[in-house]
């Protein structure tokens, strides 16, 4: 592989989301001068004809698919039909349009929830499709698995060097802090912040606190994406993570420390835990010369500062 042309058009689908906005920041900082993104009001990625027309007119050198309908356990459990249907539509439309426009390079971003619920830990890329999925997000996972398969099919049929990557749990500036539809870290940040503001003596978190999770700062993910586009060309998907995990209880304590919440942490064990452990094997991406730079405590403090600066926008 070789260095991407910094002046050629790069289309980031989902450029306003957590991942897309981090990609935009990172590529801009690395000298890319022709970044393109359309908001959902400008281009509905579920509209096949419109997607084909835009991609054909732009003829980007690179397409990065960071667009998805996403959410935490509750959102996945409540809206499985939309999570399956909309994610399938988005990625099929984007990849078909890229092939039709002869886009030379594409990166499809999935999610570590694609792996079997009881996959051997840490999870290697070849564990894909070897067991049952976590029921709380199986619809979303199936859509993302279909995306990986489409990348592989395009490579076989058209010989295009399209790639897919599977990030672990992400967090950082631009996250969704909605009280009901957010992922665990932004939900914890918001809960501890509001408890601090109200002087609450304790905060109740879901589950037992025993599951283990790995978290990657979204700016590290963005750096990994550019690295892969310039150094990776393989049909097999590739994991992006830290290779380190903590229990949810430890993560809650770290979040409380970042927010400076002094009260107690209690656990509602009637609520679901989700997958018991989800740690990615990151040996393959590390072998390409990439590693994360932002440790969790530093990243949490950084994310909390962003939350405070944008509090009026993230109330939800």
Q: What is the pLDDT of residue 182?
A: 72
Q: What is the pLDDT of residue 312?
A: 75
Q: Which long-range contacts (CB under 8 A, 24 or more apart) does 299-303 make?
A: 299/171, 299/172, 299/215, 299/217, 300/171, 300/185, 300/189, 300/254, 300/255, 300/258, 301/258, 302/172, 302/173, 302/217, 303/171, 303/172, 303/173, 303/175, 303/185, 303/186, 303/189, 303/258
Q: How would you write the pLDDT of the chain (316 residues) with one tens digit per residue?
A: 689 999 999 999 999 999 999 999 999 999 999 999 999 999 999 999 999 999 999 999 999 999 987 666 666 667 789 889 999 999 999 999 999 999 999 999 998 889 998 899 999 999 999 999 988 888 889 999 999 999 999 999 999 999 999 999 999 999 888 777 677 899 899 999 999 999 999 999 989 999 999 999 999 999 999 999 999 999 999 999 999 999 999 999 999 999 999 999 999 999 988 778 889 999 999 999 999 999 999 999 999 999 999 877 765 5
Q: What is the pLDDT of residue 155?
A: 98
Asked whether the bond before 27 is cis by omega within 30 degrees of 0, the reply is: no
Domain ranges of the chain: 10-171+216-243+279-294
112: annotated binding-site residue? yes
18: annotated binding-site residue? yes
156: annotated binding-site residue? no
20: annotated binding-site residue? yes
Q: What is the pLDDT of residue 144?
A: 94
CATH 3.20.20.10 fits 10-171+216-243+279-294, yes or no: no
169: annotated binding-site residue? yes
> Which of 4, 12, 39, 61 lies closest to 222, judged by CA?
12
Q: What is the pLDDT of residue 74?
A: 66
- Active site residue ranges: 140
131: annotated binding-site residue? no
Q: What is the pLDDT of residue 303?
A: 96
110: annotated binding-site residue? yes
What is the pTM (predicted TM-score) of this model? 0.93
């Amino acid at each position: 592989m070789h260095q991407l042309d910094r002046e050629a058009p790069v289309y980031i689908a989902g450029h306003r989301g957590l991942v897309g906005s981090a990609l935009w920041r990172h590529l801009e900082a690395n000298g890319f001068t022709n970044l393109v993104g359309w908001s959902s009001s400008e281009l509905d990625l579920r509209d096949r004809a419109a997607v084909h027309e835009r991609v054909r007119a732009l003829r980007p050198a690179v397409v990065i698919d960071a667009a998805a309908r996403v959410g935490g356990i509750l959102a996945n459990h409540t809206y499985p039909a939309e999570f399956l249907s909309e994610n399938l539509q988005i990625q099929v439309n984007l990849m078909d349009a890229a092939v039709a426009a002869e886009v030379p390079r594409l990166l499809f971003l999935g999610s570590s929830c694609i792996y079997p619920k009881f996959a051997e830990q840490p999870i290697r890329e070849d564990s894909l499709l070897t067991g049952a999925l976590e029921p709380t997000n199986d619809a979303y996972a199936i859509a993302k698995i279909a995306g990986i398969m489409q990348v592989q099919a395009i490579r076989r049929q058209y010989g295009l060097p399209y790639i897919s990557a599977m990030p672990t749990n992400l967090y950082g500036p631009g996250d969704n802090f909605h009280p009901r539809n957010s992922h665990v870290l932004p939900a914890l940040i918001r809960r501890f912040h509001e408890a601090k503001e109200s002087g609450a003596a304790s905060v109740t978190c879901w589950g037992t606190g025993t599951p283990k999770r790995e978290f990657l700062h979204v700016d590290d993910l963005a750096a990994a994406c550019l690295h892969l586009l310039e150094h990776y060309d393989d049909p097999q998907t590739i994991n992006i993570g830290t290779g380190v995990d903590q229990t949810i209880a430890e993560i809650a304590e770290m979040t409380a420390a970042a927010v400076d919440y002094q009260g107690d942490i209690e656990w509602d064990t009637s609520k679901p835990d989700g997958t018991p452990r989800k740690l990615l094997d990151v040996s393959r991406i590390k072998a390409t010369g990439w590693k994360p730079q932002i440790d969790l405590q530093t990243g949490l403090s950084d994310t909390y500062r962003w939350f405070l600066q944008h509090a009026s926008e993230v109330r939800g």
